[in-house]
Chain A
Amino acid sequence: MGRKLVLNGNHAAAHACKDARVQVIAAYPITPQSPLTELLSQFVEHGDLKAKYICVESEHSAITVCIAASSTGARTFTATSANGLLLMHEQLHWAAGARLPIVLACVNRAVAAPWNVWNDQQDSISQRDTGWIQIYCEDNQEIYDRIIQAYKIAEQLYIPVMVCFDGYILSHTLMPVETIDQDSIDEFLPPYKPHITLDPENPCVLNLVTFPWIRQDHPDIEKLGGYPELRYQLQQTLLSSFEVIEQVDREFGEKFGRDYGLYIEYQCADADYILMAMGSIASEATVAVDLLREEGYKIGMLSLKLFRPFPAEILAAYADRAPASTYIIIERGLSYGYEGAVCTEFKAALFTHQIQKNVHNYLIGIGGRDFDVYQIIEATKQSINAIDNGQTYKEMEWINVQK
């Protein structure tokens, strides 16, 4: 039987790994991720989880252990934050290029310099182009559920999955979490059976140097292609992965009564304005919506769950369908020199599909700067006033920052 536990986000993730029967774990301590892997090492030490826990000397080695163990046929897990994730960057590309179903929990934290251990999402946003699937969680239950889903998605697509959740706000905050009984999880998530591994009985060499051109010196070689063909396959798999991600989520929902989708909408059906956010900030935004509704504003909230692959067509179709004229995107990470990353992606999606909307962008809570629902409300009103005065475009704005 599943149990109802009171867990912080880190421990919810650790329980999910245990229940997903992860076989090889490698991690390096970093705030605020450390309690996650501490609990996992306890699970392994106490025999609650039959796995190898490798205490590595860096995050680069942590992800490398996962790459090598996954290539040898084991289900693998690692977790990190901030500069740890940045140190993994080379190997994130490697894991995706090698098509390995690794699952990584990113406990979102601001990146240095200067040093800052508090929350924003600059770390995972900066890994946008590595070829990983990125899922953002809103609460601790979702962390547990998404990690289990992540293995099923990753192992079906041979694409690594990063499950992201906000440091402290989720990682260190207790919430009730319903775990699922082992038999049901085993049924949902069968053991990992890779199509190819390092095996002396069937020897093959992985990640060989691959030419830019298609080799012509053997008939079978021609079918396999060169480097661009392999990279094309990665891109195509990512672009066609929405169906798998949604299907896994639906199946999870049917079995366990919880599903999330690629986005969650709140009070959007009749909304003129939609607040859009990713991660725990979306929960905060629902409170803003309730308060603004009390004041008579027709406003809703859209919580984006998937950043990569970016559900451009799905969001454009949504925007086309929904009555809202304006999207107010609140973010915790940006592309320096431009604007919030979600905002850029969303605007591009609208443009591609020739949908005209007002899109405003606010940056909030960078480096853990505390903010409350009233700041979201204030920003929202500011945008609404601007629109009312005909100012449909405005540059990204920092909320609650001394300028």
Chain B
Amino acid sequence: MEKNLLPKDLPKEEFLLPGTRACSGCAFALAYRFALKALGKRTIACTPASCSTVLSGMYPVTSLKIPMLNTAFESTGAALSGIRAALDILGKEDITVLGWAGDGGTVDIGIQSLSGAAERGTDMIYVCYDNEAYMNTGVQRSGSTPYGAFTTTTPTGKLQKRKNMPAILAAHGVPYVATANSSYPIDLYLKFKKAKDEFKGKTRYIHIIAPCPPGWGFHTKDFIKIGRLATQSGLWPLYEIIEGKMILSKPTRDIVLGKKKRVPVTDYFQAQSRFRTLSDVQIQQIQAEVDQEFESFKQNL
């Protein structure tokens, strides 16, 4: 990937306008902004029921400068196949079709239609922006809520581990799978560029962690910091899976190489209120699992 690119070097044109209905300190809004800079004007987006529905505005006013289709909660994958089919038959093959769904709409209710679209090899970029619970309905647990996190339906902390959605998509044979983090905007931008330019015509899946101040319990000013801690602690590693081969992205690779120090998971947990019920034993267990995962990452260097 290109080195030394700075946010100020990115295209100036904005496709997500200021004054959206997203909460202040919303990380997925920032990710959306950078993603659209990479994808450009000839993009059609599609969003299921989610915070993104709210961000898009209230009829007849919108914050988006690209066309977007709101679709039913479980239907994003199928809707992307439909948009793609119409564009292809109408001779508009150059347009990028972008799915922009939350974790509930991706890993839970939407997994079937996403799996179908991925299996069909739909020419699309599907994004899961993951705020790790049903935030739009008031912080209920999802299949992507991490172990131990408080939500309104897991009052003593979630007892199960999250689904590994990137691995599930990679298992479909999706040729480009990546994780991203809005606290690493250049990495995120370049992944979208790559998805658009190098994997055109294929299914692409990008899973973005999206820190959520009201849902996670931290101050809005800290959302970049929280995102960084997620990756620095190893809880949200950044990587690409290209044709089945995992390639670690720089922030995570530097940790594996020992160039940067991995911070303890407690630093991440203590910065948010949702992990307040985690016991020391649970934290040690999570730390051990992260340590083990990073050990295994050495094979991917």
Contacts and interface: CB of A to CB of B under 8 A. Distances in A.
A64 B66 contact: no
B56 interface: yes
A23 B83 CA distance: 12
Contacts of A226: 59
Interface string B10-47: 00000000000000000000000000000001111010
B136 to A, nearest CB: 11
A264 interface: no
A67 B79 CA distance: 7
Interface in A192-240: 198-200, 202-211, 215, 218, 220-221, 224, 226
Interface in B69-107: 69-72, 74-75, 77-83, 85-90, 95
B32 to A, nearest CB: 13
Nearest to A71: B69
B48 to A, nearest CB: 10
B65 interface: yes
Nearest to B42: A200
Contacts of A90: 72
A57 B116 contact: yes
Given A50-B89, A65-B78, A91 B69 contact: no
A353 interface: no
B77 A73 contact: no
Contacts of B56: 205, 208-209
Interface residues of A, number: 48
A354 B299 CA distance: 83
B53 A209 contact: yes
B70 A24 contact: no
A14 interface: no
Contacts of A210: 58-59
Interface string B116-127: 100110000000
A208 B60 CA distance: 7
A228 to B, nearest CB: 12
* Number of chain B interface residues as a range: 35 or more
Contacts of A64: 71-72, 75, 78-79, 82, 113
Contacts of B43: 200
Given A200-B95, A210-B59, A224-B60, A58 B113 contact: yes
A54 B82 contact: yes
Nearest to A66: B82
A10 B90 CA distance: 27
Contact of B116 (A50, A51, A58, A198): A58
Nearest to B74: A60
A111 interface: no
Contact of A206 (B66, B70, B95, B119): B70
B53 A91 contact: no
Interface string A47-85: 000111011111011101111111111101000000000
Nearest to A208: B59
B76 to A, nearest CB: 9
B67 A199 contact: yes
Contacts, number: 165
A57 B113 contact: yes
Contact of B89 (A52, A91, A199, A208): A52
Contact of B69 (A50, A74, A207): A207
B79 A203 contact: no
Contacts of B66: 200, 203
B105 to A, nearest CB: 13
A196 B188 CA distance: 33
A207 B70 contact: yes
A208 B67 contact: no
A74 B86 contact: yes
Residue picked from A54, A58, A74, A200, most chain B C-beta under 10 Å? A200
Contact of A69 (B57, B62, B85, B115): B85
A137 interface: no
Contacts of B85: 24, 26, 52, 54, 65, 69, 74
A209 B59 contact: yes
Given A69-B83, A76-B82, A200-B67, 6 more contacts: A26-B85, A54-B81, A54-B82, A61-B81, A74-B89, A215-B60
7 interchain residue pairs of minimum CB distance: A68-B82, A57-B116, A61-B78, A72-B86, A65-B82, A74-B86, A52-B85
Interface of A: 23-24, 26, 50-52, 54-58, 60-62, 64-74, 76, 90-91, 94, 198-200, 202-211, 215, 218, 220-221, 224, 226
26 contacts: A24-B89, A26-B78, A26-B81, A54-B85, A57-B113, A60-B113, A61-B75, A65-B78, A65-B79, A68-B79, A72-B87, A73-B86, A73-B90, A74-B90, A91-B75, A198-B67, A198-B83, A200-B67, A203-B65, A205-B69, A208-B56, A208-B70, A211-B58, A211-B59, A215-B61, A221-B60
